[in-house]
Amino acid sequence: MAEEQSNKSLVPGLERGLQLLLAFSEQRRELTFAELHRLVDMPKATAWRVVQTLTQMGFLERNPRTSTFSLGMNVLRLGFEFIASLDVVQVGQPVIEQLRDVSGCSSHLAIRDGRDLIYVARVSAAGSRINQVSVGTRLPVHRTSLGRMLLTDIRRDEFELLYPHPRLPGEHGGDSLDRDTLWNMVQQDKGRGYVIGESFYRHGISSIVYPIFDRSARVAAVISIMIPTEEIPQTDRDRLQREVALAARKISGFLGYLVKAS
């Protein structure tokens, strides 16, 4: 009885359309109408009308050369809309865990809040000797390599609103940093696309930092690994850099960022 009532609640046209879309898979990216009809449980005339409707709405695309159908851009758009709604921590946590495993280094995600960076996710390497920051820890953006990378997508006028004074405070009231010097460092980081901060903020600890982009190509966060050494050995540098870059691209893709073909 309950099953009968459930079946009465179904929208037949929607159900048939979804059946057809679900017929496509990694192994079946293009299908002829005859192949589609064999894969779904519906009359041939009904299947044809559903295919025509989905094609008209952009959920299917027809290749006139091969007379095959494939998933259209509107299916991809729905996927990207959902992915872009996910939080960077939701999609990033498993990625930084994987990065920790392949690099052997503690890994972090951080975002910017005004003149502070906030660590929003972290995973520690086994036996790490580094005094780990906690999720929620705030540090001044201008004093860290992660913070410098977070500043790479702001304009000069935005930068000067953020730092209205020509001298920026040093650590614990120590030596101050020149605002123009920071701006020039940030522009160099932007051009390079990453930061290798060898004991930039904490002595004896180096980091490799890459930006994470959102669907509007803005820097949404940064990903980093921490290495307990004053200077990263050249033999490890390229490998570690590749791993962090790959993790950054992966999270950016999850957030809907599409890399433009060069």
Domain shared by 61 and 118, yes or no: no
Element (H, E) at 15: helix 12-22
Are the C-beta atoms of residues 94 and 117 closer than 8 Å to each other? Answer: no
Q: Which of 81, 113, 129 is the last residue of a domain?
A: 81
Rounded-to-integer distance, Cα 22 and Cα 29, Å: 11
Domain shared by 119 and 239, yes or no: yes
Taking residues 2-14, what's their average pLDDT?
58
Give the chain's largest Cα–Cα span: 78
Q: How many domains does the chain have?
A: 2
Domain shared by 130 and 249, yes or no: yes
On whether the pTM is more than 0.95, the answer is: no
The range of the structural domain enclosing residue 219 comes to 86-254
DSSP state of 254: H
Cα of 185 vs its chain's centroid, Å = 24
Confidence at residue 29, expressed as pLDDT on a 0 to 100 scale:
84
Confidence at residue 122, expressed as pLDDT on a 0 to 100 scale:
87
Domain shared by 112 and 207, yes or no: yes
Mean pLDDT over all residues of the chain?
81
Q: Within 10 A of 93 (CB to CB), how many other CB atoms are there? A: 17
Taking residues 223-251, what's their average pLDDT?
84
In a domain, 260, yes or no: no
**168-192 per-position pLDDT tens digit:** 776 544 455 788 888 999 999 999 9
Domain shared by 70 and 198, yes or no: no
Record the tokens describing residue 242, joined without a space.
């590749």
Give the pLDDT band (50/70/90) at residue 194. very high
Are the C-beta atoms of residues 105 and 111 closer than 8 Å to each other? Answer: no
**52-71 per-position pLDDT tens digit:** 999 998 889 998 888 999 98
CATH number of the domain that residue 17 is part of: 1.10.10.10
Residue recorded with tokens 């390497």: 125
CATH number of the domain that residue 229 is part of: 3.30.450.40
H-type helices in 57-174, by residue range? 73-84, 88-103, 145-150, 156-162
In a domain, 261, yes or no: no
Residue 26 has pLDDT above 80, yes or no: no
Q: Which of 81, 110, 137 is the last residue of a domain?
A: 81
Give the pLDDT band (50/70/90) at residue 131. low
Q: Which of 42, 59, 81 is the last residue of a domain?
A: 81
Domain shared by 227 and 97, yes or no: yes
| Closest listed residue to residue 137, CA positions, set 146, 128, 129 | 146
Which residues have CB under 8 Å from 206's CB, separation 6+?
196, 197, 198, 199, 226, 227, 229, 230, 231, 232
Confidence at residue 114, expressed as pLDDT on a 0 to 100 scale:
87
In a domain, 128, yes or no: yes
In a domain, 52, yes or no: yes
